[in-house]
Amino acid sequence: MIRILRLTILIFFSTIIVENSSAETMFKDNFNDTSQWRYIADNVMGGISKGSVEFKTIEDSSVAILKGNVTTENNGGFIQIRRDLSRVNLENATTIKVVAKGNDQKYYVFLRTTGTKLPWQYYESEFHVNDDFKEFILPIKNFKKSGILMSAKINPKKITSIGLVAFGRDHSAELLIKEIEFIK
């Protein structure tokens, strides 16, 4: 009986250790170094959307605020902030965690890889914010490709950048991002 109890306890604690060790941070950005981020709008392709990014401290955390008006006029339709990840080893990443809030709108995470050669190619996953900071868990395997000349699935090792994007429809954007994390 004691042997069964010891075995049960061993299995229980082994399961806890395995579960906790499987969630490992590969990369995390909480906007303490804002020089890594750049603002991009559709005007690079002729669009007329207007916006900006500000970095502020809110609730004792550094936050990126993407704000503006997105319009699909003149073949436009996006504003975004993007960070280069080409020198970050994301080989074993499976999930992206975003902590964000905003103006009750849908926003996107865009990933570019070594295989996204054209400016309009990306992989996307959407999330819907409200006025409270919330954690969004986005499995990399669920990101959708933007076109037919791309691999169906993302190889995390080949991720070169991440973008937080207001996209695809006429609307006012206000997205506050507190944290982005790639998790194994």
Sign of CA dihedral 29, 25, 124, 131: negative
- What is the rounded distance in angstroms from the CA atom of residue 5 to the CA atom of residue 10? 9
Q: Is the per-residue pLDDT at 8 higher than 50?
A: no
The pTM score is 0.86
Ranges of H-type helices in the chain? 2-22
Residue 75: its pLDDT value, please? 87
What pLDDT sits at residue 17? 41
**What DSSP state is assigned to residue 3?**
H
pLDDT digits (tens, 9 = 90+) for 67-89: 999 999 998 999 999 999 999 99
For the beta carbon of residue 92, count every other beta carbon within 10 angstroms.
Answer: 12
The answer to whether residue 20 scores a pLDDT higher than 80 is no
Express each pLDDT in 134-177 by its tens digit.
999 999 999 999 999 899 999 999 999 999 999 999 999 999 99
42's tokens = 């559709």
The yes-or-no verdict on residue 66 having pLDDT over 90 is yes
Residues near 40 by beta carbon (within 8 Å), at least 6 away in sequence: 79, 80, 81, 82, 163
Model confidence pLDDT, tens digit, residues 89-102: 999 999 999 999 99
Q: Give pLDDT, residue 13.
A: 42
Token digits of residue 3: 């042997």
Q: Which of 27, 107, 126, 109 is nearest to 68 (CA)?
A: 107
All residues at 6 or more sequence positions from 131 whose CB lies less than 8 Å from its CB, including other chains: 101, 102, 103, 104
What pLDDT, in 10s, does the model give residues 123-138? 999 999 999 999 999 9
What is the model's pLDDT at position 30?
A: 95
Q: Per-residue pLDDT tens for 101-125?
A: 999 999 999 999 999 999 899 999 9
